[in-house]
Amino acid sequence: MKRRILFLLFSVCWLPLAAQDILSPAEEAYRQGRFSQALGLYETALKNHPNDPFVYYNIGNCYFKMGSKGLAAANYYRAFRLAPRDKDIRHNLSLVLASSGDRFIPAGVPTVLHQAFYSLSYDELRGLTSIVFWCFCVLLIGWLLKRKGFRLVVLSAFVLALCAGWLYWRHTLQQTPLAVVAVPVAEIRSGPGTNFPASANLTQGHLVIIEDGKDNWQEVIVQSQGVKGWIEQSALEKI
Amino acid sequence: MLKKLFLLSVLLLGPLYVAAEVVLTASTDKTALTLDDEITLTVQLSGVTGNIVMPQLPSLPAFNVYSRETEQSVINNQAVYLFRYTMLPRFVGQAEIGPVKFTYKNQTYKTDPITIRIYRDPQSVPVKQHAKGAPVTKLEIDPGLPPLEADLLRQSYAQSGAPFFLIAAVSDSTPYVNESFQLAVRFYYSQAFYDAPYKKPTVSNIFMEELGQTDGTQKIGNTLYRYNEQRYQLIAPAAGPATIGPASITYQTGRSALSAFDRLFGGAAVSEEHTQTSKPITLLVKDLPPGKPNSFYGAVGDNYSLSAQVTPRNVEVGEAINVAVTVKGDGSLKSSQDLSLPAVDGFKVYPAASTSGDLPVKNGIPQSYKTFKSVFVPAASGIYILPSIKWSYFSPKTKQYKTLLTQPVQLTVTPSTKTENVYNFSPNSPAGGGFQTLGSDIHYLKTSYAPTSNILARCSQYGIVNVIALILVAIMVFFASIGKKSLAQKKAYTQAKTRLKKATNGQAIADTLSHYLQQKLKISTGSLPLKDVAAALSRKGVTPATVQQFSALWQKLDTARFAPEAWGAQNALELRQQARLLLKQLEDETK
């Protein structure tokens, strides 16, 4: 029994190191230009570390070097959602979006404001809102008990309202179904089928919002162009 | 033994080879004629090279030779000389054209003699064997012959018998859009002619380009024809019908009403003008099938090859790399669009410029090439891969699109050794300052996993704490608002104020005050003397000044209750006002 416990402890201790070992050969393959091999290794690493923004970022880099800018943008965006403050992720995402004519920071929005809005990740923002809520509750209880500190209660309520609004906004954006064009050129049609005429072409890497779906077709909005239409599902990579 | 056999065979076969090399023949366009007519003797010589001397004619006492022509052509890569003598007969009767001699490399060659009958009366001349438009030779076409040649052969046999005719044929009557095909127009003649302006055919929905002209001979039946062929390369730019109009040639023949004697001795030759036209041709141009690859630039044909030349492959930053992609194959590539070369990260690519041209004809099919040249300038050092370049075409033979690929090329770019950097690919980058933007690329990999969640992110996982906090607040609110005081106590002041507004005499005001004290402070005023009531108020935390005010008001109210006539309406209002103020003070002091 003791041996089993020791073996289990040993395995648990070495597990993170074994996973870390995947990154070295992946980086080596990337440096030597064997991008598809590096991609395979990073995808293996993602299975062990789901939702790791850095692994998504590296996968995006591999796709970019392989010429698949659409898939690169999708993975950069996944990384950005998890770690919005990371400068490398922001740089690569803005670069790949710019190459397809999209903007990372919407037109008219100051960069500082955008950075402030995304200064916390979604989980961090939820945590901050929880802490503010807890503070508000403590102050309210104190006031109810002692009838003292009413101004602090009001102030904490105001901060809580701000955090809740910020969280609601981010939650709305987080829940918006996004996708990127993953094929060299995708045709936007007026209906879900090839019998509908194509109204526009969209190069890979363009960010679209998914509105609806029917069979193998997705109704999308291209915000940068103000265009709405249908694209084949196989041409899109959902984020 | 073997040596002897070899020498013997050389000695025996050598003269045979030499004899077979030179061919000398003589023929006439007719074997019977009248005194007014003329006869053409044609001597054909082939298999000789270098400078040659004229064949030696025999003695021709029965004829006057008044015209000599020499023509040279190349048939099957062999020079063929034709010596044509036009002669006028001098006597009626049978005449003989003796052997024509030709000496070449100390060897004399001779032709067979030809017997000619000369008549005085035209009616005596035997009828020609072949009448115009009545071919006598049965045609058997080799199935392996190209369609264009087979069609020309078929048409020429159909027209055989006529001394002059013009035919036209195409290599494909149902070509694809942009497919290159050929038109041949041939003028056959078996007699002499003069001044023959040629008018090429007009076309619709077709681009026509001349490929050149050739001369040749063809024996149809017993008649040896010479022909002049004009070839064209055709390309139809759009699907649908296309037409090739008739070609025509107008020529003069030397027939004349004057006698041969007059023509020989100063008579003016009167010529006749004739025109031959070819039949118009209608084509049906087929559209290309769907499924064009992205790398299809409009080329239609077969036997294409693609090659890429990249020079140099080792450069410094800022030096130019020339990339030339060449396509070769059947037909014309002039109408195909320019190739778009792939963008390579880290390189400034200057647009491709294309050049095209013709190549030597291969198996009777014109060949052409198109070269796309581009310049790649690296912006940063490193090892780069120029990816495969794709080029697709449509093959009419297989009716499929085919794609050709070049091999990927590795390029090595080393840092610039030049002291003066002049490379600047960013139009907005400021000059000077020791910094120049060379280009932009993605940032490098992350070499580790993301750090574990910080305290804020971890707090988001404790959702249960939010629920607990909410429950605690609710409990506190409950205790603070309802748990300490009864609902009656809570409502006592409100009810008292309402009742006080309606009170118009001392009794009503006293009852309101009494009811308030009963509900709020649990003090019964009915059974207690004023002194005890004041003491009870003091115990409940009411200040002495308020207790004193209460006592004074209560006494006034007693007076008002028991002597109402002594108190007017004005006093009732004052008492009510005092009671309202007292209630407020009590409410504040007993919270």
Q: Is A197 exposed, middle or buried (0-12, 13-18, 19+ CB in 10 A)?
A: exposed
Q: A54 and B449: CB-CB below 8 Å?
A: yes
Query: Residue B463's closest chain A neighbor by CA?
Result: A130
Q: Which two tokens stand for residue B571?
A: 């006093």
Q: Is B112 exposed, middle or buried (0-12, 13-18, 19+ CB in 10 A)?
A: exposed
Distance separating alpha carbons of residues B146 and B171, to the nearest angstrom: 8
Question: Chain A within 8 Å of B469 (Cβ-Cβ)?
Answer: yes
B200-211 confidence digits (pLDDT tens): 898 988 888 888
* Non-local CB neighbours of B263 within 8 Å, separated by 6+ positions: B66, B88, B256, B269
Residue among B455, B460, B470 with most chain A CBs within 10 A, to mutate: B460
**Nearest CA of chain B to the CA of A118: how many Å?**
14
Residue B228 in domain:
yes
B233 three-state secondary structure: strand
Residue among A141, A156, A183, A187 with most chain B CBs within 10 A, to mutate: A141
List the CATH number of the domain containing B409: 2.60.40
CA distances in angstroms from B128 to A219, B161, B328, B447, listed in the order given: 85, 10, 53, 100
Indicate whether B114 and B152 sit together in one domain: no
Question: Chain A within 8 Å of B213 (Cβ-Cβ)?
Answer: no
Q: A133 and B456: CB-CB below 8 Å?
A: no
Indicate whether B380 and B273 sit together in one domain: no
Indicate whether B168 and B278 sit together in one domain: yes
pLDDT for position B132: 44
Domain count, chain B: 4
Partner-chain residue, chosen from B449, B454, B470, that has the shortest CB–CB distance to A52: B449
pLDDT for position A62: 92
CA distances in angstroms from B194 to B85, B161, B191, B251, listed in the order given: 15, 20, 10, 6
Q: What beta strand segments (E) does B113-200 contain?
A: 114-119, 164-170, 180-189, 198-199
* Owner of token pair 């490398």: A88
Q: B446 and A88: CB-CB below 8 Å?
A: yes
Q: If contacts are CB pairs under 8 Å, which of residues 93-132 in chain A contact chain B?
A: 95-96, 120-121, 123-128, 130-131
Q: What is the DSSP string of B393-452?
A: EEETTTTEEEEEEPPPEEEEEEPP--SS------TTSPS-TT-------PPPPP-SPPPP
Q: Which of B109, B124, B139 is the last residue of a domain?
A: B124
Taking contacts as CB-CB distances below 8 angstroms, the residues of chain A near B463 are 130
pLDDT for position A89: 94
Q: Which of B90, B124, B158 is the last residue of a domain?
A: B124
Taking contacts as CB-CB distances below 8 angstroms, the residues of chain A near B383 are 33
Q: B470 and A137: CB-CB below 8 Å?
A: yes
pLDDT band (50, 70, 90) for residue A169: very high
Residue B477 in domain:
no
Taking contacts as CB-CB distances below 8 angstroms, the residues of chain A near B387 are 67
Residue among B344, B347, B446 with most chain A CBs within 10 A, to mutate: B446
Taking contacts as CB-CB distances below 8 angstroms, the residues of chain B near A126 are 457, 459-460
Indicate whether B56 and B118 sit together in one domain: yes
pLDDT for position B429: 45
Q: A124 and B469: CB-CB below 8 Å?
A: no
Indicate whether B372 and B335 sit together in one domain: yes
Partner-chain residue, chosen from B449, B456, B470, that has the shortest CB–CB distance to A120: B456
Angle between helices B506-521 and B487-502 (to 10 degrees): 170
Partner-chain residue, chosen from B444, B460, B472, that has the shortest CB–CB distance to A130: B460
B108 three-state secondary structure: strand
pLDDT for position B11: 42
Query: Residue A128's closest chain B neighbor by CA?
Result: B456
Q: A134 and B469: CB-CB below 8 Å?
A: yes
Residue B334 in domain:
yes
Indicate whether B172 and B269 sit together in one domain: yes
Question: Chain A within 8 Å of B452 (Cβ-Cβ)?
Answer: no
Q: Which two tokens stand for residue B222?
A: 């017993």
Statement: residue A129 has pLDDT above 90:
yes
Which stretches in chain B have pLDDT values below 50?
1-2, 5-20, 129-136, 256-257, 419-432
CB-CB contact of B312 with B411 (8 Å): no
B556 three-state secondary structure: helix
Q: A19 and B465: CB-CB below 8 Å?
A: no
* Owner of token pair 């989980």: A123
B317 three-state secondary structure: coil
Q: A67 and B457: CB-CB below 8 Å?
A: no
CB-CB contact of A239 with A78 (8 Å): yes
pLDDT for position B127: 55
Q: Which two tokens stand for residue B591?
A: 């919270």
Residue among A17, A130, A131 with most chain B CBs within 10 A, to mutate: A130
Taking contacts as CB-CB distances below 8 angstroms, the residues of chain A near B476 are 140-141, 144-145
Our measurement of the distance from residue B417's CA atom to the centroid of its chain's CA atoms, rounded to an integer in Å, reads 41
Our measurement of the distance from residue B511's CA atom to the centroid of its chain's CA atoms, rounded to an integer in Å, reads 104
Question: Chain A within 8 Å of B460 (Cβ-Cβ)?
Answer: yes
Query: Which among A23, A100, A17 is positioned nearest to A58, based on CA atoms?
Result: A23
DSSP structure class, residue B161: T
* Non-local CB neighbours of B155 within 8 Å, separated by 6+ positions: B167, B169
List the CATH number of the domain containing B85: 2.60.40.740
* Non-local CB neighbours of B173 within 8 Å, separated by 6+ positions: B281, B283, B284
Most distant pair of Cα atoms in chain A: their distance: 73
Partner-chain residue, chosen from B444, B459, B463, that has the shortest CB–CB distance to A131: B459
Partner-chain residue, chosen from A19, A57, A123, that has the shortest CB–CB distance to B460: A123
**Nearest CA of chain B to the CA of A209: how many Å?**
25
Residue B238 in domain:
yes
Residue B463 in domain:
no
Q: A95 and B456: CB-CB below 8 Å?
A: no
Q: B456 and A19: CB-CB below 8 Å?
A: no
Q: B469 and A133: CB-CB below 8 Å?
A: yes
Taking contacts as CB-CB distances below 8 angstroms, the residues of chain B near A95 are 440-442
pLDDT for position B167: 93
Distance separating alpha carbons of residues B281 and A78, to the nearest angstrom: 65
A110 three-state secondary structure: coil
Statement: residue A19 has pLDDT above 80:
no
Distance separating alpha carbons of residues B122 and A26, to the nearest angstrom: 104
In DSSP terms, which residues pair with B332 in a beta bridge?
A: none
Residue B472 in domain:
no
pLDDT band (50, 70, 90) for residue A220: very high
Distance separating alpha carbons of residues A74 and A90, to the nearest angstrom: 13
Partner-chain residue, chosen from A49, A54, A127, that has the shortest CB–CB distance to B459: A127
Distance separating alpha carbons of residues B563 and B554, to the nearest angstrom: 14
At B575, the amino acid letter reads L
Indicate whether B163 and B236 sit together in one domain: yes
**Nearest CA of chain A to the CA of B308: how many Å?**
21
CB pairs under 8 A between A and B: 102
Q: What domain range is B198 assigned to?
A: 147-285
Partner-chain residue, chosen from B449, B455, B476, that has the shortest CB–CB distance to A141: B476
Question: Chain B within 8 Å of A66 (Cβ-Cβ)?
Answer: no
Residue B7 in domain:
no
Query: Residue B449's closest chain A neighbor by CA?
Result: A54
pLDDT for position A83: 93
Query: Residue A65's closest chain B neighbor by CA?
Result: B345
Distance separating alpha carbons of residues A141 and A147, to the nearest angstrom: 9
Q: If contacts are CB pairs under 8 Å, which of residues 291-310 in chain B contact chain A?
A: 294
Partner-chain residue, chosen from B447, B461, B472, that has the shortest CB–CB distance to A141: B472
CB-CB contact of A29 with A37 (8 Å): yes
Q: Which of B370, B386, B414 is the last residue of a domain?
A: B414
Question: Chain B within 8 Å of A70 (Cβ-Cβ)?
Answer: no
Indicate whether B393 and B517 sit together in one domain: no
A56 three-state secondary structure: helix
Indicate whether B199 and B327 sit together in one domain: no
Partner-chain residue, chosen from B449, B469, B476, that has the shortest CB–CB distance to A144: B476
Indicate whether B177 and B274 sit together in one domain: yes
Taking contacts as CB-CB distances below 8 angstroms, the residues of chain A near B441 are 95
Taking contacts as CB-CB distances below 8 angstroms, the residues of chain A near B466 are 130, 133-134
pLDDT for position A13: 44
The whole-number average pLDDT for the span A67-92 is 91
Query: Is the bond preceding B290 in cis, omega lying within 30 degrees of 0?
Result: no
CB-CB contact of B560 with B512 (8 Å): no
Indicate whether B528 and B584 sit together in one domain: yes
Partner-chain residue, chosen from B383, B450, B465, that has the shortest CB–CB distance to A52: B450
Q: If contacts are CB pairs under 8 Å, which of residues 378-407 in chain B contact chain A?
A: 383, 385, 387
Residue B12 in domain:
no
Q: What is the DSSP string of B339-373?
A: PPPPP-TTEEEEEEEEEEEEEEEETTEEEEEEEEE
Q: B459 and A130: CB-CB below 8 Å?
A: yes
B166 three-state secondary structure: strand
